Amino acid sequence: MLLSTAPAIAAPSQAMAAPAAEQQRAVTLVTGDQVFVQGSTSRSVRPAKGREGTAFRTFTLDDHVYVIPADAERLVATGAVDRRLFDVTTLLDLGYDDAHSTALPLIVSHPAGQMIGQSHIAPASVTRELRSIDAVAISADKRQTGAVWDALTKGDGVRTLEGSVTRVWLDGKRRAVLDRSVKQIGAPAAWAAGLTGAGVKVAVLDTGVDQTHPDLADREIAERNFSDSADNVDRVGHGTHVASTVGGTGAASGGRYRGVAYGASILDGKVLDDYGSGPDSSIIAGMEWAAEQGADIVNMSLGGYDTPGLDPMEEAVNRLSQKYGTLFVIAAGNSGPAGETVASPGSAAAALTVGAVDRDDVLAEFSSRGPTIGDGAIKPDVTAPGVGIVAAAHAGGTIGEPVEEGYTRLSGTSMATPHVAGAAALLAQKHPDWTGERLKAVLSGSASPHPKATAFEQGAGRIAVAAALTGTVISEPVSLGLGTQRWPYDAQEPITRTLTYRNLGDSPVTLALSVDATAPDGTPAEAFSLSATTVTVPASGQAQVTVTGDARRGTADGVYSGAVLATAGDSVTRTPIAIHREPESYDLTLAYLDENGAPTPEYAGVLLGLDSSYAGFPYDADGTVTTRLPKGRYLVDGTVYTHAGNRANLIVHPDVVLDRDLSFTMDSRIGKPVNVVPPASARLELGDIGYAIQSRTRLFGSGLLIDDLNVLTVAQLGRPHKGDILTGKVNTQWAGAGGETYGLAWFPAGTVPAGFTKTVLKRDLATVHAEFGTTTKGHIGRRSVSPFPASGTAFVWSLLSDVPLPGARTEHYSTDDTIWTGFVNQADTDGGIHATWTAPAQTYRAGHRYTSRYIDAVYGPGAAASKNATLALRRDDTISIDLPMFTDGNGNAGFSRTERATTTLSYNGKLVGEIAAPASGTFENLPPEPGVYRLATSVVRADAFDLSTRIDAEWTFRSAHVGGDQPAALDVIFLRFLPRLEADDSAKAGRVQLVPLHLQDQRGATLRPKRLTAEVSYDEGKTWRQVPIVPAQMAKLSHPKNASTVSLRASATDADGNTVKETVIRAYKLRP
């Protein structure tokens, strides 16, 4: 079974909009199943060999598409297998598609002290041993991932992990996220005291460090390359900038841009590649190396999205910190201003996590905020300058804004983090016996807060080196999260925690204790109290105080936060505190029953807020799971598997109004079958059964992919809210006799398809004679058609089936308020995709016959007919383009595999951007003023093609800043060559040939040219001759008898002055 998916949102006004055509990309899952992706409009699933008939649960949530095979559901639900391994969007974003990665990288955990045997990972190979987290990194060749899945798991139908495997993770990727700034944190006070970081080892785990820069000469004492790059050279500039801020001497600037701890020794661990990203396992290996090398402090100006629970990176931070006493100083991330955006591994409890402030100590908008996801901990711990930071630039570097020779200006928590690492080095020089935990406590406790920032925004505040050097009192813990006070508050007791003060000095210290706290609205709050107002801490001793949080003293729901202040003279030790006053909330209990009415662990569920951003995957192995949620509306989506995963029961409640404690039984026995009877003897190849729902704030789609309707039932427990749009989906595709196919699809409004029944007669269908040309012998075609609802919302999956090239077949389609679109891939016998052509959307009438044709020359830039202009857009000062460079002679938008491509953008004659892609990409930070833009692209096609082997095109148009929420279409026009050719893309040599020249806009609409010229070459572009333009905008060509190919070049100007010039080498063939 080869399945394809086409998610679509089709409001009535846009129902005929053609989806954007893009080159299809393939992703191999850990199970060996393949997903094929074509932009946002078409995706495909091919079960691995031996897994035919596997059911797949699919859902689209927050723009991420998930494809989970039935046998992996329980492992994913329990967290034993990383959900990201089935998040197709994430795999693509990380570059783990098959075109960019021939292997799938995994991290496999094992019991402590017990290594994984080769038999449990065969045929994968171990790439790294990660002893700090009891795991190995493995590389699974994508041709063998199915076998690796079989080695890691066991069981028929429902899988469990092998005994020596405790968890399987995706080996994800993390990315790289001085002048006045050094003074801002008080570093000169340390310098005046003779502290420079001398004798302290600081590891910089980044993109490498440029040792040739004068500021970093002789600073490095060890280096190691853990990245996928060939060497340790910094080709990004990020690591050099960071290392310079930690410990650069400022030699190239006469000391002006000196780093914080300019006497510290640098350990250079290159864990990010030449593009600024690296896999988790490489970074963990670098962390282990740094700790084993004796690094006192490790700077990690990198991160990635955090998830609930402890991931391998967070676990490595915590374990290495405890084992070696190393302080890991880690960037909070640049995903602010929203809450719960602190990046991993900065989310690790042991990390000293750093946010960014500007020169006035105001929190940077981009700085990530807490609390952390899952445990609600206070993060970041501190802040430091991270806006407009000047530090060393790597040799030949282009990163950032050049300031003067050898220096560049950058912003980010990546820039704030090395300020804190440097400060820690100064402190470590003064106190060489201190552990990283103590360094963290002192730097946090002595920080200077901004009065308008909360604990979850700034932690303790901006670090203050002078105060850290003189302070003698620390608190344990360094921050105190009191958790959540549940609603209703009258039934809740105050929450108390113990705060310990430790005196690092040799004299007793008396502390005056107070609380400075604010309510969620920023006003002063009295939500916290202390058991004492003063406490005396003996020399080298400790004293304790009880902190009580009682949000009942407030009136607003949300987070109350602030700090406990312990004051002794001019010295203040701050301990951030927070308590969450739960809004009106209730318990939602779901009990999953199998077809015998017994509780079952074989289920998967999604719980979605319809008037909030909440999304969760609640699961408990006993079959009953309770979730605490704020009052509101929720969607419950559950799938219960029975008979070892061979039967699936989809149960949906589209509108749970949670205004009291509620319980629902997700009972498989109430499901109703879905039944479709085709008009002739036919075999079901795809059943795509499900629904989509669109509320005011959310869009979600869910369904099951099966090849037998008898294995599925569907149940709906309630009605949708009147303001939500619920659209059911029954999408079936069948193989009939003689190669005929049937696409039968319906989208019932307001309901999921429980009990849907349809008997189809042939007179109800439209018939399409589909013809397929070819550009290369030996290739096969893959045909996909996708139904869209004329109104409502749907995420639709479709069959992707092999067709001969050249060849033809007869296709039958249902017509009830359904829009169909299709594409054809040209692929090799191993499945590698070389080109894709996507047709405009089409509606059909019952009883009518139609013809469609794909893959005919001339292949060149062109737009498929559409009501929407989406190929070249501008929003604010960013231009995004995705131009089909190989649209065929039938108007099917085309993309092709290429050997090399370059695209440039110029503004008023000045180059403003360049990308190595065929007319696809984004150009940012463009001048806002009106001007003339020139977009040019040059594309050399892969060797598999013998026509349109090279295309050069350029466009000119005017553009300026575009305000508002919606992008504006650019005046990019296309010039298409439309000669009448034989089926083999040839014309007769020695004859006159008329070539229509068709000018069109982004929507495929015809334009009348103001100026039009054309040229022809018969030696593949070495020489050109101009040809006449005859009436009806046709170029008149006189083909020589001895020529074998025709190359074309033409230019046009429209009525508004926009221009296009296109050159197609080997546009079509000539036959004798």
Going from the C-alpha of 800 to that of each of 784, 876, 1012, the distances in angstroms are 5, 39, 41
CB 789 within 8 A of CB 814: no
Radius of gyration for the chain, computed over Cα atoms and rounded to the nearest angstrom: 32
Q: Verify cis geometry, omega within 30 degrees of 0, for the bond prior to 477.
A: yes
C-alpha separations of 493 from 524, 678, 896 in Å: 22, 64, 66
Query: Cα separation of 34 and 364, whole Å?
Result: 42
401 strand-pairing partners: 409
Burial class (CB in 10 A: 0-12, 13-18, 19+), 504: middle
Is 710:736 a contact under the CB 8 Å cutoff? no
Chain position carrying tokens 């501008």:
874
One-character DSSP codes across 867-927:
SS--SEEEEBTEEEEE--S-B-TTS-EEEE-EEEEEEEEEETTEEEEEESSSSEEEE-S--
Can you tell me the distance from the alpha carbon of 1053 to that of 814, in angstroms, rounded to the nearest whole number? 43
Closest CA to 1047 of 947, 908, 923, 907: 947
How many other CB atoms are there within 10 angstroms of residue 868's CB atom?
Answer: 14
Instruction: Give the whole-angstrom CA distance, residue 425 versus residue 889.
Output: 66
Q: What single letter denotes the amino acid at residue 999? A: L
Cβ atoms within 10 A of the Cβ of 516, count?
15
**CB-based burial of residue 635 (10 Å sphere; 0-12 exposed, 13-18 middle, 19+ buried)?**
buried
Q: How far is it, in rounded angstroms, from Cα 228 to Cα 102? A: 14
Distance CA 185, CA 193 (A): 15
As given in the structure block, the two tokens for residue 619 are 């699961």
Distance CA 776, CA 795 (A): 33
Q: What angle do CA 155, 157, 158 make, to 5 degrees?
A: 65
Beta strands in 297-406 (DSSP E): 297-300, 302-303, 327-331, 352-357, 382-385, 389-392, 401-404
Q: Helix or strand or coil: residue 588?
A: strand
571 CB burial (10 A radius; 0-12, 13-18, 19+) = middle
**Neighbouring residues of 410: CB distance < 8 A, sequence distance ≥ 6:** 238, 241, 389, 391, 399, 400, 401
Residues annotated as catalytic are 206, 238, 414
Q: Give the integer Cα–Cα distance in Å for 745 and 815.
A: 8
What are the respective helix, strand and coil percentages of the chain, to the nearest 5?
Answer: 15, 45, 40
Which residues are within 8 A (CB) of 350 and not within 5 positions of it... i.e. 6 or more apart? 317, 318, 321, 322, 328, 436, 437
Cis peptide before 19 (omega within 30 of 0): no
Burial of 365 (0-12, 13-18, 19+ CB in 10 A): exposed
Region for residue 592 given its phi and psi (left: phi exceeds 0; alpha: psi -120 to 50; beta: otherwise) = beta
Question: Do the beta carbons of residue 446 and residue 471 sit within 8 Å?
Answer: yes
Q: What is the DSSP letter of 216?
A: G
CA 50 to chain centre: 31
CA angle 49, 54, 60 (to 5 degrees): 115
